[in-house]
Structure 1
Amino acid sequence: MTLDQTQLRMASAHPAHSTVADTMDAAGPQVWEDMTVEVALSVMAAARTGHLVVCDEDGSHTGLVTRAGLMAVRDGSAYTDRIRLRDIADVIGPFASPPATRAEAERAMRCRRLGAAPVVEGHGSALGVVALSR
């Protein structure tokens, strides 16, 4: 597990025209896709975060899981303590590109009913997370 310390904030006075890179938050804890749902929830609680960036065995970003998503899986009738993050169909979500506009990223997240999306550079490394504005 690694913690990405990238922290970028608003660089533009007009959030609708700002890029994802201007408005993203730190990626937060990065975990492996073979982690169980229970362990992932424990990591979230310890890190006091609502999301985790999920990576494959090569360290490439494969998705993002949220506390709400993991709780829904855990509360489901098909849940067992052997379910891994890679077993959850919606782990792999849309990725935001650093030069994309904030408006484009928010439109994609709303379309897919996501509260957040990982910001990923060309090699698959997570740079941060962009969340829907409220």
Structure 2
Amino acid sequence: MTLVQMKPGSADATAAGRTVAEAMETAGPQVCDYMTVEVALSVMASARTRHLLVCDDRGLCIGLVTHARLAAVREGSAYSDRVRLRDILGDRGPFTSPLTTMAEAGHMMRHSHVDALPVVDEHGSALGVLALAG
């Protein structure tokens, strides 16, 4: 999905008011945080996706892992086949709401240096992913 980036004075004023709900991908594969990196990479390959949403034992979204992140962990010197997603997630977030404007989401992604954001409802359940094209 392509993130719309608006420039001041842009002729496409209707895109400026678009919300994340209009541009997000469906949630796709969701995995539990106790899953190992190896299994997550296998799920990712089977689903042909670049990222997975990670949920806790209550089913709430706690983050997103990318193929690049998992591959880097697997190549690390401290890696073992027992490393779980919860071990590599770090802090929760960033997340966005489906009501967030695309401009706000773009700013959040640039500030957080991420190319994909989990979209969650008011309870923390995953609704989808807003991802840069690529």
The TM-score normalised by the length of structure 1 is 0.85
| 91 and 131 in structure 1: CA distance in 2 versus 1, 3 angstrom threshold | farther
Q: Does 1:121 align with 2:121?
A: yes
Counterpart-to-counterpart distance in 2, 1:98 and 1:116: 14
Unpaired runs of 5+ residues, structure 1, are 1-11
Deviation at 1:91, TM superposition (A): 6.7
1:63 matched to 2:76? The reply is: no
Per-residue CA distance 1:65-110 (angstroms, 9 max, x = gap) = 1101111111111111111000014473200111111111111111
Which of 1 and 2 has greater Rg? Answer: 2
Question: Is 2:113 the counterpart of 1:102?
Answer: no
CA contact (8 A) 2:21 2:99 kept: yes
The 5 A counterparts of 1:1-134 are: 14-90=14-90, 92-132=92-132
**Count of residue correspondences:** 124
Contact 1:65–1:91 (8 Å) recurs in 2: no
Q: Which secondary structure state, in structure 1, belongs to the residue aligned with residue 70 of structure 2?
A: helix
Q: Deviations over 1:93-129 (max 9, x none)?
A: 2001111111111111111111100000011110000
Contact 2:65 2:89 in 1 (8 A): no
Q: Distance in 1 between matches of 2:63 and 2:80?
A: 21
Between the aligned partners of 1:130 and 1:15, the Cα distance in structure 2 is 15
Give me the CA root mean square deviation.
2.0
RCO greater where, 1 or 2, for CA within 8 Å and sep 6 or more?
2
TM-score (norm 2): 0.85
Mapped contact 1:24–1:131 kept (Cα < 8 A): yes
Q: Which amino acid aligns with 2:35?
A: M
Distance in 1, matches of 2:85 and 2:95, equals 17
CA contact (8 A) 2:109 2:117 kept: yes
After TM superposition, what 4+ stretches of structure 1 lie above 4 angstroms from structure 2? none
